[in-house]
Structure 1
């Protein structure tokens, strides 16, 4: 795997502290990408991350990019720990180096990132964003991890496994991409245990395991016997205090075999592969790739239960299977609720 030097180790700004973006409410469809972008195999792809590649969210993008590289579809380089102050400069450097697709996360640098895209109309940009695409920036597409389907299913399991009917939830920031997963999880919990209470907290960081762990300890002291681990560090607290945890985005069951009972997984491959195909076909345009994270698109799933196989009541797993089938065939839709979840 190839990487460019980390530009800065400064912590990333809150994704909620975004700059004003132009045309945030413009419709998804946009003018087609220039046909002269038709690329030969493999195409040069660069990714820019504000956190280490080990971080949950970024690790899924990194995994998908490496899979595409191994297939021979792309050449792949990346920068990690890039501060928001350096983000625009790194974007421009990759563009100047001839990369045809830039992938990243611009939650804190929306305006600057879209300005770069305007300056390099023959480069495709696929960026994690809380905003929508802008028809005026035809080469800038957005995505987010819409894995509310899998989060909902993990909640059904969690509701059946909590005995105290008190669940702790630790998130990074109360922004849409986090809120929608927490809300879906809570809705799933109430399918199994409608009288469950929730302790909700945000640590103000995307990567601070010690702070997440201490916050989780406080929730356990407050009566929680199961934790929703949106951040690294929460499952460590659960393991130490011998309570259960539900994972998010990645599967950590092997690392916490007696702790993590279920996880909602994000699969970035459908998102990235569709973008790569569009670049190769010369058809890349401003669009919202968020739909490729839905379960029916193969963008998310419920992780195998591993050591908890057989420990979750059979009737609960039957309900999970029923709901999963309905989600995939479109007869049931998990609500996308981006409002900040509250303790209850």
Structure 2
């Protein structure tokens, strides 16, 4: 297992800069008062393809040799990684196949196809996803770019927190959502090297709390098909992301479905930014655990904004 290094993250940032946005950091004085802390929202919902995953996907795609790239890339994804890999593959002019659960939001399937990717559907479980995917790779010979358990992807995701600490001085903590752990791992990679004094917290839905239970147990506990409104956080940790979580995360905090929807509505209403339910989980956990963050300067990674506007969680 290759553990990505700070040098990998720095190289990734140079490689992907032509293909990503430097996303803004926004604040809300109203939400600060509510939280009892200063919150800085790193808005990856404004990223290319609408999610932070454009970073890791672009690093993987543009790091391929011409020979590897010719056969294209493939992945399995509930949405954003597939969309972002299709985006990056389109920029390089190579094919991309994405295995997606048939329950994934239609908006995310449409987005993959919109960037030129091919969607192959599977049942909404990790076991079905991996079986269907194995068939795709056998047929195409495409390069597998895992949504999160891939050193190239983690190095790319680490560029987000590098930008954040360049944009905001004196952070005490950073909170990011956790599903498979790609963004959290990238955050750990960057901050443990460049700003080791900043505490890293992962935020997770109570109804998909396998990372929380893994963290408390000291080993990976995987759920096959959890049910939560935060559709981007249903996947389990893997060995590479577990390495970062186990060694660098201060704690994993959870929020109820109701808390997540309330936080999402709050950000839509007060900050006027479109974000998906997964992105609301960090704020939900901060509001639930105010004593941890009281008086602190806290970075929040808003991971994506790809929502199905016809199926909002409060409708």
TM-score, with length taken from structure 1: 0.28
Name whichever structure is richer in helix by fraction: 2
Structure of larger gyration radius: 1
